[in-house]
Amino acid sequence: MKFGLRLAGYNWRDGRIRSRSAEPDLAQALSGRGYGGLMGIELLGALALRGEEPLGEYCPMDRALAVVGTRSAVLILREALYGALRFEEFQDRTGLTAGATATRLRELVEAGVLLKRPYQEPGQRQRDEYALTAAGQDLMPVLLALLQWANRYDPPPYPPQLQHRDCGEPVVVTVACTAGHEVDADAVSVTAAGPFGVPEPHIPRSPGLPPTSPAV
């Protein structure tokens, strides 16, 4: 499966997203529906057998959130995607404190999401600037999906619009298989090797990052 730049939304009943106002009573919408009826992703293999065991460090989403799971990290990545390079640009454009900016930049560099490289203005001391690595660039669909989600469900006064510069058409985010079929949750299965219910293994993480917490 690949995560591409198109999005057909998700609807609780037919697999399409609708606005919050179109579903005024979520409790009523879920009445008589099991968890599996709402979330159509099919669990296979060890995931289907794990019962109520937390996934912990087996979960790639958990591991990704250990890197980019804070608001400040996402804002830093937003500005890197928008072309910011220097510390002052990240701090000013995100509204973060100098300490928070420095911490997030350091963590993202240690995680391999940002690259730190020196630069020097004439007559000034050498300083560092930051750019997205390939791993950071691969987060673009995630960031654009957040933008698109907020434009749909919690729009700002002037919602930013994504456009393909070459043809002028809107850019949206979608989930598709490698054959090019757009899919919703009901058409997805996920499988992973186990086992579960054994002591959590030690899985090396990026330097400087905290261990993940069990799912709650």
User: What's residue 28's pLDDT?
Assistant: 41
Q: Distance between CA atoms of 95 and 117, rounded to whole angstroms?
A: 23
* Contact indicator for 192, 41 with CB cutoff of 8 Å: no
Is the pLDDT at 3 greater than 80, yes or no? Answer: no
Q: Distance between CA atoms of 211 and 132, rounded to whole angstroms?
A: 23
How is residue 186 written in tokens? 């009901």
DSSP SS3 for 162: coil
Tens digit of each residue's pLDDT (9 = 90 or more) over 32-56: 333 444 568 998 888 888 888 788 8
Tens digit of each residue's pLDDT (9 = 90 or more) over 146-171: 999 999 999 999 999 999 999 999 99
User: pTM, whole model, 2 decimals?
Assistant: 0.73
Instruction: Say which residue the tokens 């750019």 belong to.
Output: 131
Residue with the larger pLDDT of the pair 107 and 44: 107
Domains and CATH numbers, the chain: 2-10+39-192 (1.10.10.10)
What element of type H or E holds 50?
none
Instruction: Based on DSSP, count helices (H) and strands (E) in the chain, helices before strands.
Output: 9, 6
The whole-angstrom distance between residue 166's C-alpha and the CA centroid of its chain comes to: 26
